[in-house]
Amino acid sequence: MEISTLCIHGSTDSSDTTGSITVPIYQTATFVHPAVGQSTGYDYSRVQNPTREQVEKIIAKLEKGVDALAFSSGMAAIAAMMELFEPGDHIIASEDLYGGSIRLFNNLSRKNGITFDYINMSKTEDIVRVIKPETKAVFIETPSNPMMQVTDIAEVAKITKDRGLLLIVDNTFLTPYFQLPLRLGADIVIHSGTKYLSGHNDTLAGFLVVNSEELSQRLRYIYKTTGACLSPFDSWLIIRGLKTLAVRMEKQQENATRLATWLSNHSRVTKVYYPGLVSHPDYEISKKQARGFGAMISFEVDSEETARKILERVKIALYAESLGGVESLITYPMLQTHADVPKEEREAKGIHERLLRMSVGIEDINDIIEDLAQALLS
């Protein structure tokens, strides 16, 4: 079954007897036992719920994984995953990460005795250089947020498998529609389901997808113990959103490609970060490991004044955090997604007052371009 069909028909609700086309919302906290020592397969919704089970099955199939676990947010998924590690463990992570991941690692995970090295993952030889006896995992975003660095997943997988390390890949930007990290050697895939998987900016969700039963069992134990599970209604919203994932991703990528080209030729834009541009340093890696380039663009403008004017003048593109919905959103990373990263560290990565990040939606591309054109006027 092709992925666009899987998005629509990836799961069958065997517990429903009505013939409903849509998966019902099982809005219940607990389930009746048929008899002592017997179970319907559902006991308590923190452990499993029929609606959540369906979205987990679909995500696992889309990512070609053994199991998927649905959480109340992307950060809840990452926080639960970090419970796999113990005090003294060491993790190598992308230097360019979503600010929420950095906040979790540098404050909560370090408090719990886990140490980190942040490196540019596009230089895979640097990974070997920082591996220690206590290293347990490599954590990457590709493309990264917000600088759009691309990591060669298969090359990193060779390093991690040779040394018995976990390879964890945040696949939020490309989704399984464009990229399949487990097929390239990853052990765990992360999603902020809030973004493209939902696609409508109307719910929070997170997913972990694993490549083995052993990881599934360990994470499901953590899952039921910590309890940040996805609610039945939010599970239903993700199922609904997934039905249009393929058509949304194609349209958003088409729009992003045209917009990135237009931005590259604008006099007030000094640099464009989009993996789909031939000028991007990781363009060939992207072509090798992904079916597409996605719809996330970061770009630098000529001054802080220009950046702030854009944010205040846009009418179709909305000045808001998040990404991946049908609406185009424009974000100021230094004040929003990466506000908690120390200034010197942030600016060293290129996240400064002239950098904007845009999630390109499904509006008519001519309207998006005209909107940015008027916002960029002197």
Query: In the beta sheet, which residues pair with residue 357?
Result: 298, 331
Residue 240 among the catalytic residues: no
User: H helices of 45-181, where?
Assistant: 50-63, 74-81, 99-103, 110-111, 125-130, 153-163, 175-178
H or E stretch including 288?
helix 283-289
3-state helix, strand, coil in the chain (%, to 5): 40, 15, 45
Q: What is each CA distance from 273 to 143, 166, 255, 312, in whole angstroms?
A: 10, 29, 15, 22
Answer yes or no: are the C-beta atoms of 120 and 150 closer than 8 Å.
no
Answer yes or no: are the C-beta atoms of 224 and 42 closer than 8 Å.
no
Out of 96, 152, 170, 282, the active site residue is: 170
Residue 126 among the catalytic residues: no
Amino acid at 324: G
What whole-number distance in Å separates Cα of residue 104 and Cα of residue 113? Answer: 13
Please spell the DSSP secondary structure of 324-362, one letter per residue: -SSS-EEE-TTTTTTTTS-HHHHHHTT-STTEEEEE--S
Residue 152 among the catalytic residues: no
Out of 26, 42, 98, 274, the active site residue is: 98
Out of 52, 61, 136, 195, the active site residue is: 195
| Nearest C-alpha neighbor of 300 from the set 358, 359, 374 | 358
Q: What are phi and psi of 165, to 5 degrees?
A: -100, 150
Residue 196 among the catalytic residues: no
Could you say which DSSP state residue 211 is in? S
Active site residues: 46, 98, 170, 195
